[in-house]
A = this chain, B = another copy of it.
Amino acid sequence: MIRGKVTGRVWSTKKIGSLPTGGLLEVKVDGGGVLIAFDPLGCAEGETVLITQGSVAAGHFTENKAPVDALIIGSIDNAD
């Protein structure tokens, strides 16, 4: 997994139907780079989070084939 800090949130009104409703957070990844990750935990700006990627992220969604390849799976204790 990779670790990063939440730096904002994005909205996407024009989207494909299979994208689940929920938070899309901008995360600055340790070592550089920015990802937009789906957030099932309700994290806040400034929080340090743990992200899983690829089909492993999509596996979190049971109903249809969610097009999510970056998922926040935890908030890291005492990281801030």
Chain A residues in the interface with B (C-beta under 8 A): 1-3, 10-16, 18-19, 24, 26, 30-38, 40-41, 50, 52-60, 65, 67-71, 73-79
7 A-B pairs with CB atoms under 8 Å apart are A1-B36, A10-B79, A12-B76, A16-B74, A31-B32, A59-B67, A60-B67
Once the chains are docked, how many angstroms separate the CA of A36 from the CA of B10? 22
How many copies altogether?
A: 5
**Residues of B close to A76: CB separation below 8 A:** 10-12
Contact B41 A34 (CB under 8 A): no
Contact B31 A1 (CB under 8 A): no
**Residues of B close to A55: CB separation below 8 A:** 54-56
